[in-house]
Amino acid sequence: MEFTCLNRKALILVTVLCNFIMVSSLEVGFYSQTCPNAESIVSTVVQEALSAEQTVAAELLRLHFHDCFVEGCDGSILIDNGDDQEKNAFGHQGVGGFNIIEKAKARLEQVCPATVSCADIVALAARDAVVLSNGPSYEVLTGRRDGLVSNKSLANEMPEVNDSIQLLRSKFQKKGLNDKDLVLLSAAHTIGTTACFFMQKRLYEFPPHGGSDPSINPALLPDLKSMCPKGGNSERLPLDPGSERIFDDHILGNIKNGFGVIESDARLYDDSVTKRIIDAYVGIANIRGKALFNRDFAAAMVKMGLIGVKSGSDGEIRRVCNAFN
Ligand code: HEM
Ligand SMILES: *[C@@H]1O[C@H](CO)[C@@H](O)[C@H](O)[C@H]1NC(C)=O
Ligand SMILES: *[C@@H]1O[C@H](CO)[C@@H](O)[C@H](O)[C@H]1NC(C)=O
């Protein structure tokens, strides 16, 4: 099937059709015959982890994003195989949740050995983390296979906190994600925290004149500075001040009002297109608006979960998530 699609790439219509066919090689409930409890096992493990430490919800959500943006959603970020491993890439700093994925994998191996991919566990765990943070539920397409490559040199396409809106947009476009997806997926910052490491430039050396980013609301700036002193690195502060544990659309209002914490979120309000998208969600400040945001976020997550997926006989099903078979 892949071969046919490559041959016909010149025909836009056919390419669209081929993309659709390749995409549809994932399906909801891929393990319903081979491992009927796969999804409930993953969600139990995520639930256990969250009841011990609620902050890992954000880690699991972020992990899926970082997995998908390098080599596709194929578990390449999970591998431990030396200095060159993808996990060590600069752009993956602070990514976590690996032990939870490994724990789910171990339980799955007991029940249905060599069946459920680590890439699918990552995708399912991200969904469960959203649900358990009070966010929307959605069906996860499954059937991903695990990748055979993990190298930090492949992580150059990770969006960076100091990227311009144009660069963020083009990095997302390269993955098949549009401006609306960029806004909605950035809204994942409704939960979780950032290390002060990522705030230094924005607070103290903002180009071109130094000092702090003028787009930070003056009512927030002193707080940010006291939580993140100059030279501070490992202190952590909420990405969505006031609502960092609940998954909701509060972050978009924060971004609109200059209360966005990391620079890439703030940049979304500099551009007329992404600004309009934010304004549209913030403008419907009622239950219908929240439902719309939830629905659209879920759709964007499903789309992100399809980036570069391997299926059929590509890749492998790992026995453990941090090593190739
Ligand atoms: C638009 C490009 C993006 C940039 C530049 C970006 C950057 C960052 C940075 C710098 C942090 C702080 C990391 C730390 O200190 O541990 C962070 C945290 C986080 N990011 Fe993003 N991010 C982006 C998009 C996304 C997307 C698409 C998702 C998921 C759909 C996501 C989910 C998260 C979550 C949940 C956290 C909190 C992690 C925690 O509390 O441990 N981010 N992001
Ligand atoms: C990772 O990629 C670099 C650059 O292409 C290469 O030199 C290195 O050998 C690779 N490492 C592994 C373990 O494959
Ligand atoms: C963002 O920061 C990284 C690391 O400090 C740097 O390499 C890169 O050039 C910066 N990008 C921009 C657009 O300033």
**Domain ranges for the chain:** 8-158, 165-301
Beta carbons of 263 and 201 less than 8 angstroms apart: yes
Label residue 47 by pLDDT band (50, 70, 90).
very high
The CATH class that applies to domain 165-301 reads mainly alpha
Backbone angles phi, psi at 324, to 5 degrees: -70, 155
The response to whether residue 226 sits with its C-beta less than 6 Å from ligand 2 reads no
Q: How far apart are CA 156 and CA 238, in angstroms?
A: 26
What mean pLDDT comes out for the span 13-34?
69
| Pick from 15-29, 179-193, 290-304: least confident | 15-29
pLDDT at 15: 43
**Does the predicted TM-score (pTM) go above 0.95?**
no
| Pick from 12-16, 23-27, 239-243: least confident | 12-16
Nearest protein Cα to ligand 1, atom 37? 192
Whether 226 shows a pLDDT value over 50: the answer reads yes
Label residue 317 by pLDDT band (50, 70, 90).
very high
pLDDT at 25: 87
Give residue 84 CA to ligand 2 midpoint distance, Å: 6
Residues identified as active-site: 66
pLDDT at 180: 98
The binding-site residues of ligand 3, defined as CB within 6 angstroms of any ligand atom, are 160, 162-164
pLDDT at 157: 92
Nearest protein Cα to ligand 2, atom 3? 153
The response to whether residue 142 sits with its C-beta less than 6 Å from ligand 1 reads no
Whether 158 shows a pLDDT value over 60: the answer reads yes
CATH of span 8-158: 1.10.520.10
Beta carbons of 70 and 89 less than 8 angstroms apart: yes
- Tell me which of 7 and 67 has the higher pLDDT: 67
Q: For 63-104, give the DSSP string.
A: HHHHHHHTTSSSSGGG---STT-GGGSGGGTT---HHHHHHH
Label residue 286 by pLDDT band (50, 70, 90).
confident
